[in-house]
Structure formats: C-alpha cells, structure tokens
C-alpha cells in the first residue's frame, strides 16, 4: 500500500497526463478515445495501469459477481473514472465513491474530458484518506 505522499505524487502525474491528452485531443470525442490515450500517456510516464478492472459485489454475504468495471486502475491504488459528458452529475461522484468502497481504495479521480478547460472536468475524490 502506498503512502499518502506517494498517492499525491502519482496524482500529480495523473493530472499532467490528463492535461497532455486534453491538449492534444481536445473536447468532443468518445470516452473510449480518451481512455486509450490516457492509458498510453500514463504508460509513457512509467505507471502500472490496468483497464476494465472488474469489481465484485456481495449482498448479505452472497457474491453477486462482477457487476462493476473500473475504467483505469493506476498502480493498483488509484481509480480513474473517465467521462465525456456535457456535465458532471452527482451520480458520477457517487459511483466513484462506491468503487472506492468496494475495491477498498482511498483515492480516485473523476475526469470529464468534454470541457473547454480540463480543470473544470478534473475531480479528486477521497474515501477514508
């Protein structure tokens, strides 16, 4: 498990990577395009990435299976939820918090690339940090 300092340093790399992707691609593409480009950018910066990571859900101690999928998992510690929408809805943040709880992680980023300036679409979400 990474320290808070390490998580925050990686968060800086994630932000810089998102800025690079947004600068090159701009807004208006599909979520899948940004995901692929961001994975490439993060790999170029030396981070370990997994995509489409299944998350299992249980109900009353009975496994319900892999019902959620994390867009990008960075260094097996930070969850990235990628969007390309006109506005961030509260449900998107709730979704990321749910992923953090179920996957037992402390830090996630909700990133909406469909904005003129990426700072408007970059949201840091912490859970029991």
Q: What pLDDT digit, counting tens, does each position of 57-112 carry? A: 889 999 898 888 999 999 999 999 999 999 999 999 999 999 999 999 999 999 99
Regarding beta strands 62-74 and 49-59, do their DSSP bridges make them parallel or antiparallel, or are they unpaired? antiparallel
What pLDDT shows up at residue 11?
Answer: 97
3-state secondary structure of 89: coil
What pLDDT shows up at residue 98?
Answer: 92
What pLDDT shows up at residue 39?
Answer: 98
Which value, to the nearest 10 degrees, does the dihedral of the CA atoms of residues 105, 87, 33, 14 take?
Answer: -40
pLDDT per position as a tens digit, 19-42: 999 999 999 999 999 999 999 999
What pLDDT shows up at residue 67?
Answer: 84
Work out the average pLDDT over 39-61.
Answer: 95
Between CA 60 and CA 82, with CA 105 as vertex, the angle to 5 degrees is: 105
Contact 125, 109 (CB under 8 A): yes
């Amino acid at each position: 498990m990474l320290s808070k300092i390490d998580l925050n340093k990686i968060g800086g790399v994630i932000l810089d990577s998102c800025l690079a992707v947004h600068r090159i691609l701009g807004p208006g593409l599909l979520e899948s395009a940004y995901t692929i480009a961001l994975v490439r950018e993060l790999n170029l910066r030396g981070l370990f990435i997994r995509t489409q990571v299944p998350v299992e859900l249980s109900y009353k101690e009975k496994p319900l299976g892999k019902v959620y999928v994390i867009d990008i998992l960075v260094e097996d510690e930070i969850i990235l939820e990628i969007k390309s929408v006109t506005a961030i809805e509260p449900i998107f943040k709730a979704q990321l918090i749910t992923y953090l709880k179920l996957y037992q992680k402390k830090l996630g980023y909700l990133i909406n690339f469909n904005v003129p300036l990426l700072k408007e679409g970059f949201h840091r979400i912490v859970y029991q940090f």
